[in-house]
Amino acid sequence: SQTIHQWPATLVQPVGSPLSLECTVEGTSNPNLYWYRQAAGRGLQLLFYSVGIGQISSEVPQNLSASRPQDRQFILSSKKLLLSDSGFYLCAGLESNYGYTFGSGTRLTVV
């Protein structure tokens, strides 16, 4: 089974600063990978997904971007953070028909 690694666990960033969150996958090759955001008291919102190196699909137009430079690496970025970017960011990998495995998440607070 696969393991999703995410860091950092918490992050406090000022408005207008850049962001880079990294997700790495262990235990599988060529996984489908996903970035979700969960705002306080809200559901999981799919931001980006990737089916392979360099292949990124965006679900919601926004201030964020994603990249997949390596098979097991998925990066979420922003050039200038907004207050509305605060939330709990989760990376997930698809395990065949077993649904997603989630990383431990990054709680981002933009101040």
Partner 1 sequence: QKEVEQNSGPLSVPEGAIASLNCTYSDRGSQSFFWYRQYSGKSPELIMSIYSNGDKEDGRFTAQLNKASQYVSLLIRDSQPSDSATYLCAVNKGGFQKLVFGTGTRLLVSP
Residue 86 engages partner 1 in binding (rule: CB under 8 A)? no
In the complex, the smallest distance separating the C-beta of residue 50 from partner 1, rounded to whole angstroms, is 9
Among 21, 23, 34, 81, which residue sits at the site for partner 1 (rule: CB under 8 A)? Answer: 34
Q: How far apart are CA 11 and CA 80, in angstroms?
A: 15
Given the rule CB under 8 A, which of 18-26, 39-47, 63-71, 73-81 is the region that contacts partner 1? 39-47
Q: How far apart are CA 66 and CA 97, in angstroms?
A: 25
In the complex, the smallest distance separating the C-beta of residue 90 from partner 1, rounded to whole angstroms, is 6
Give the length of the chain.
111
Residue 39 engages partner 1 in binding (rule: CB under 8 A)? no
Are 23 and 9 a contacting pair, CB within 8 Å?
Answer: no
In the complex, the smallest distance separating the C-beta of residue 79 from partner 1, rounded to whole angstroms, is 26
Q: How far apart are CA 22 and CA 17, in angstroms?
A: 17
Omega within 30 of 0 (cis) for the link into 69: no
Choice between 1 and 14, CB closer to partner 1: 1
Residue 90 engages partner 1 in binding (rule: CB under 8 A)? yes
